[in-house]
A and B are shown apart, each in its own frame.
Chain A
Amino acid sequence: GQQVMQIPQYQHVQEGEDFTTYCNSSTTLSNIQWYKQRPGGHPVFLIQLVKSGEVKKQKRLTFQFGEAKKNSSLHITATQTTDVGTYFCAGRENTGFQKLVFGTGTRLLVSP
């Protein structure tokens, strides 16, 4: 079945440093979504990318969807302590039903 991997599993940065998490799917995706989950909380939708090569920005966050629609990345510029949490990508296969398959997640810790 479809597998979605993320690297790194964990990253600890100092406040102000940049952060990037990479998402790779074993199959071509129709679209990809990104979520943030704070400790003890539930996933919160951040963004959806649909088009091949698409790039979207939300303030300090930059999201990219690969040309082959099998990978994606999330880059945070100048991290803040409020960025702490686990970031998940979630993709839908190009065929079949609209179920989301979540990536393995990247846990981000930001020290002041």
Chain B
Amino acid sequence: GAVVSQHPSWVICKSGTSVKIECRSLDFQATTMFWYRQFPKQSLMLMATSNEGSKATYEQGVEKDKFLINHASLTLSTLTVTSAHPEDSSFYICSAPDAGKAPDTQYFGPGTRLTVL
């Protein structure tokens, strides 16, 4: 099946620094990618929809200036957490539908665990 990778798998950073997370579709092209955040023992919350070649669409309550999304190619989307604070510590997961298959087939990356000290 299709594969989505994320890098890094985990990161620890100091408060106030910025962290970039990459999401790649390895064997298919993804014009759209989704970014989710999951706090411990909670569900996945959609943060934003990343669109190749255009601006991302953010969910209500998600600060677009804090969570910068860039979808520069058909296989790569990046999420940058700017000026990270301890409350941003979470599990960030991306997903991508494979446009070459049924429109509802979506593949999830392995996630990135962010810890802000």
Task: Please classify how large the interface on chain B is, using the bins under 10, 10 to 19, 20 to 34, 35 or more.
Answer: 20 to 34
Note all chain B residues with C-beta closer than 8 A to A30: 104
Q: Report the count of interface residues on A (CB-CB < 8 A).
A: 25
B116: CB under 8 A from chain A? no
Tell me the bound Cα distance from A100 to B93 in angstroms. 13
Note all chain A residues with C-beta closer than 8 A to B42: 105
A11 smallest CB distance to B (angstroms):
14
Note all chain A residues with C-beta closer than 8 A to B109: 42
Q: Are B108 and A45 in contact (CB under 8 A)?
A: yes
Note all chain B residues with C-beta closer than 8 A to A34: none
A31: CB under 8 A from chain B? yes
- Picked from A41, A44, A50, A88, the residue with its CB within 8 Å of the CB of B44 is A88
Tell me the bound Cα distance from A33 to B107 in angstroms. 12
Given A31-B104, A102-B44, A107-B41, A42-B110 contact (CB < 8 Å): yes
A66: CB under 8 A from chain B? no
A42 smallest CB distance to B (angstroms):
4
A59: CB under 8 A from chain B? no
Tell me the bound Cα distance from A81 to B104 in angstroms. 30
A-B contact pairs, 29 of them (CB 8 A): A30-B104, A33-B104, A41-B111, A42-B110, A43-B44, A43-B108, A44-B108, A45-B106, A45-B108, A50-B104, A88-B43, A88-B44, A90-B44, A97-B57, A98-B32, A98-B103, A98-B104, A99-B34, A99-B46, A100-B34, A100-B46, A100-B106, A101-B46, A102-B36, A102-B43, A102-B45, A102-B46, A105-B43, A107-B41
Beyond known contacts A43-B44, A90-B44: 20 more, CB 8 A cutoff: A1-B60, A31-B104, A42-B108, A42-B110, A42-B111, A43-B93, A43-B108, A45-B107, A50-B104, A88-B43, A97-B49, A98-B32, A98-B103, A99-B46, A99-B49, A101-B46, A102-B36, A102-B44, A102-B46, A103-B43
Q: Which 8 A-B pairs have the closest CB atoms?
A: A102-B44, A42-B111, A102-B43, A105-B43, A42-B110, A104-B43, A43-B108, A42-B108
